[in-house]
Amino acid sequence: MKPLRDAQRDVLAAVQRLESVRVPVAEALGLALAEPVSARHDLPPFANSAMDGYAVIASDVAIAPVTLKVLEDVPAGSVPTREVVPGTAIKIMTGAPLPAGADAVVQVEDTDPGYDEVLIRIGAPAGTSVRPAGEDVAIGTQVLAAGERLTPARLGVCASLGYHEPLVGRRPRVAIMSTGDEIVPPNTPDLQPGKIRDANRFTLGGALEELGVSVIDFGIVGDDADELRARLAQAAAAADAVVSSGGVSMGEYDLVKALLSELGSVDFWKVAMKPAKPFAFGRVAGTPFFGLPGNPVSVAVAFEQFLRPALLHMMGAERLFRPRVWGVLEDAVETDPEKTVFLRVNVGSGADGRLTASLSGAQGSNILTALAAADALAVVPVGTAGLASGSLVELEMIRMEEARSAMEVIGG
Ligand code: AMP
Ligand code: MG
């Protein structure tokens, strides 16, 4: 068996970064920057008011109440035309530029406006409610590094600094297909004996979409060499990577193996992991090919361990692996000491402030519902024959449902 680390290393070594392209910021979510983002101007670009109120000279209002003459009114988007001089104020809205002469803003709640004057009831020290130019980012500062993936907040940063078309790694196109004579489309009205509805194309397609990949669906392919050969060749020509599920374990091994060695160079690995031990990887007509096992949970685990890091690498992302955190396992488990074992678990917060992990259902590689309920994969390392309840375990967070623990608290 091939150690998981070695398999991951070999996969990463075999895939290459795609070229960089400029993409409208609105279409760049999830993509990795191929250039650093630096401030070409201060952000905010000018000193402005943090409140609706009156721009004043702080020393004028040090002893309040005091009445000041109002020179003009500056809404956001306008610029002041007057200078605040002793005894005067300028009415200002949030986001409007601070007028020359002023060094503080008194919020409107602390004033009594009159016709062309204002009573300042509570004074404000210099700097109050003023957002200096460059408070967030000073001109010239690097804010984001190449290799960082664009989250919603980072899209906002790009936009505010004028990176309306950031340079990013191109979005990979990934062809997916399900294989197996037993697999039928989900809209099949009456399941014939021996047939099952396709789950994998949807688990896989969804995971790929979440990653920011464009998915090309090559449907279901029967266990037939000619059909598979044709479909794989089409997929390899259309995509940056091809992913299939099923047909890589012992039963059909030989058929697919012979076919794949004819189309390209694909290795069949037995990776020391559970689930997802059988895994085929290589090239079909030059395109990276990932042959995942058929069991739905194996598909998800193989996606997490191989496909996701490989695609992130192709996208030019710097961080390829999900963060791991430690938690307390609440169930006792027996595991194969020769394999890295991934358990499907729910994550919560324990009374002592530590995270807890409990099995989200039965652990068979066909149990889709336990996967669907899981927040994390708990990682039991090689050399461990099991874990007692209460053991610390590493958790690879694959999905954290909003407010799971809060709902438990509210529910009693
Ligand atoms: P295989 O790797 O082809 O031997 O398949 C392993 C198991 O996964 C078998 O029980 C298959 O029926 C099941 N399986 C394969 N492909 C799919 C799929 N697309 N959706 C759901 N189950 C599948
Ligand atoms: Mg099969």
CATH number at residue 82: 2.170.190.11
Q: What is the CATH number of the domain that holds 160?
A: 3.90.105.10
Let me know whether 109 and 81 are in one domain.
yes
From 177, 192, 198, 200, mutation site for ligand 1 pocket: most ligand atoms within 8 A of C-beta: 200
Nearest to 307 by CA among 316, 317, 299, 318: 299
Beta bridge partners of 69: 88, 117
Q: Provide the sign of the torsion angle of the four alpha carbons 253, 254, 257, 260, taken in this order.
A: negative
Let me know whether 236 and 305 are in one domain.
yes
- Average pLDDT per consecutive 10 residues, the chain (412 residues; last block may be shorter): 98 98 98 98 98 98 98 98 98 98 98 97 98 98 98 98 98 97 97 98 97 97 92 97 90 72 89 96 96 97 98 98 96 98 96 95 97 97 97 94 55 48
Is there a domain that residue 401 lies in? no
Is there a domain that residue 405 lies in? no
CA of 291 to the centre of ligand 2 (A): 11
Let me know whether 186 and 297 are in one domain.
yes
CA diameter of the chain = 92
Which atom of ligand 1 is closest in space to residue 199's alpha carbon?
20
Let me know whether 306 and 350 are in one domain.
no
The total domain count for the chain is: 4
Let me know whether 165 and 25 are in one domain.
yes
Q: Which of 83, 106, 131 is the last residue of a domain?
A: 131
Instruction: Provide the domain limits for residue 153.
Output: 21-41+144-169
Is there a domain that residue 408 lies in? no
Q: Residue 30 and residue 167: Cα distance in Å, rounded?
A: 13
Q: List, chain by chain if needed, residues with CB within 6 Å of any ligand 1 atom.
A: 178, 180, 182-183, 196, 198-200, 245-247, 249, 251, 293-296
H/E stretch holding 132 reads: none
Let me know whether 196 and 310 are in one domain.
yes
Q: Residue 113 and residue 337: Cα distance in Å, rounded?
A: 77
140: left (phi over 0), alpha (psi -120 to 50) or beta: left
Tokens read off for 224: 């037939």
The label of the residue with tokens 């300042």 reads 120
CA of 198 to the centre of ligand 1 (A): 8
Is there a domain that residue 199 lies in? yes
Is there a domain that residue 149 lies in? yes
Instruction: Give the ligand with the smallest distance to the CA of 220.
Output: 1
Let me know whether 180 and 214 are in one domain.
yes
**What does 313-344 look like in DSSP terms, one character per residue?**
HHHT-S--S--EEEEEE-S-EE--TTSEEEEE
Q: Estimate to the nearest angstrom the gap between the alpha carbon of 195 and the chain centroid.
A: 35
Q: What is the CATH number of the domain that holds 392?
A: 2.40.340.10
Q: Estimate to the nearest angstrom the gap between the alpha carbon of 241 and the chain centroid.
A: 20
Query: Strand 183-184 relative to strand 196-197: parallel, antiparallel, unpaired?
Result: parallel
- pLDDT the model gives residue 406: 47
The label of the residue with tokens 């791991």 reads 324
Dihedral of the alpha carbons of 297, 303, 305, 306, in degrees to the nearest 10: 140
Let me know whether 217 and 265 are in one domain.
yes
Which atom of ligand 1 is closest in space to residue 200's alpha carbon?
19
Angle at 311 between CA 145 and CA 258, to 5 degrees: 155
Let me know whether 10 and 101 are in one domain.
no
Nearest to 292 by CA among 315, 275, 309: 275
Let me know whether 281 and 389 are in one domain.
no
The SS3 assignment for 186 reads: coil
Is there a domain that residue 343 lies in? yes
Is there a domain that residue 366 lies in? yes
Is there a domain that residue 280 lies in? yes
Instruction: Give the ligand with the smallest distance to the CA of 244.
Output: 1
Let me know whether 268 and 226 are in one domain.
yes
Tokens read off for 215: 């998915």
Let me know whether 207 and 304 are in one domain.
yes
- The amino acid occupying position 390 is G
